[in-house]
Amino acid sequence: MMKIKSRTHLLKMTAQGLILIFLLQHQVILGDVIFIYAKKGDLVSLPCRLQSCHDPDWVYTWDFNTYVYEVKHGQVQASSKRSHRLSLKNDCTLLIKRVTAEDVGYFSCDPRQQREIVYLSVLTLTLLPLDSNGEVDLRCSLAYRCPAQCVSETGKFAWLEEEGQDLTKEAVLQDNCTSKLTVLPAAPERTYTCQYKLNNDVIVQIQRTFVFLSKNASESGNMWVINAIRVVVVILMLLFFGVLFVKVMLKSKRNVGRPTQVLQSL
């Protein structure tokens, strides 16, 4: 009986997986996909447009070969790696807090009755360490379903400085979904904005303020730390020898007079 039940459960899961894959592929072919672009750290809402919203099943897939239940029968699944960041609204909208590049992929609301597929892309902006020339690299990446389509006739990256100066021409593409901007910090603190555009419309942008530390400042900072450590070591050594000296003095005081007492007794 247990084998029959396990086989039935496996067949049921396989059937659901095949249904999901078929629906996802069918929707993709028809182009009936909702594309959502977010920046890293955003709170994202994934819509579910079922006619009757009741105890939905939200599933996730990246490659259409495997899928994961994020929500099952209206309950967030503890087995999901993002479960602590998920919640469900009354209209079955799925909320994802503090999105990261790991959240990129296809989400579907109840594959048995699903109307649409939601595809989530995430834009990130990172700062690489200062190089020997005193320059830094800012790297802007769009985690996207098809890297070959990130930069095309309609899609492109753009860069802005805090005063609004366009730095796009100074940036280079590391690959179709990653744009790199090399800058020579003109101030200890600077704000940069990376944008992703479709048909010249800003779809998503991320802005960060970076604090730059010059090479000399970094070296002087390291020397300050080294000197501080040296001072602490010297103080600890002085305390150690001071305590040792006090113990020796106290011991010598306790021993004063003992030889005299021995001679008198003799």
User: Residue 35: which of 170, 181, 155, 174 has the closest Cα?
Assistant: 155
Please give the pLDDT value at position 111: 62
Biggest distance spanned by C-alpha atoms of the chain = 116
Residue 33's H or E segment, with its range, is strand 33-39
Buried b (16+ CB within 10 A) or exposed e, 35-71: ebbbbbebebebbbeeeebeebbbbbbeeeeebebbb
Please give the pLDDT value at position 255: 65
Please give the pLDDT value at position 24: 43
With vertex at residue 123, the alpha carbon angle to CA 44 and CA 68, rounded to the nearest 5 degrees, is 55
Q: What is the distance between the alpha carbons of residues 217 and 236, in angstroms, rounded to a whole number?
A: 28
Please give the pLDDT value at position 62: 84
Looking at CATH, the fold of the domain delimited by 128-215 is given as Immunoglobulin-like (2.60.40)
pTM value > 0.75 = no
Please give the pLDDT value at position 258: 57
Looking at CATH, the fold of the domain delimited by 2-122 is given as Immunoglobulin-like (2.60.40)
Please give the pLDDT value at position 132: 65
Domain layout of the chain by residue ranges: 2-122, 128-215
Long-range own/partner contacts, residues 152-158 (CB < 8 A, 24 or more apart): 154/198, 154/199, 155/196, 155/197, 155/198, 156/196, 156/197, 157/194, 157/195, 157/196, 157/197, 158/194, 158/195, 158/196, 158/197, 158/202
Per-residue pLDDT of the chain (266 residues; tens, 9 = 90+): 434 443 433 344 444 444 444 444 433 333 468 899 999 999 999 998 777 778 888 999 887 788 899 999 889 999 999 999 999 998 889 999 999 999 999 999 866 655 568 999 999 999 887 666 778 899 999 988 777 778 888 889 999 998 888 999 999 998 889 999 998 876 678 899 999 999 989 999 999 988 766 554 444 445 566 777 888 888 888 888 788 777 777 777 666 655 544 444 43
For 87, the 3-state DSSP assignment is strand
Please give the pLDDT value at position 67: 85
Beta strands 117-127 and 172-175 are unpaired
The answer to whether domain 2-122 and domain 128-215 are alike in fold is yes
Please give the pLDDT value at position 235: 87
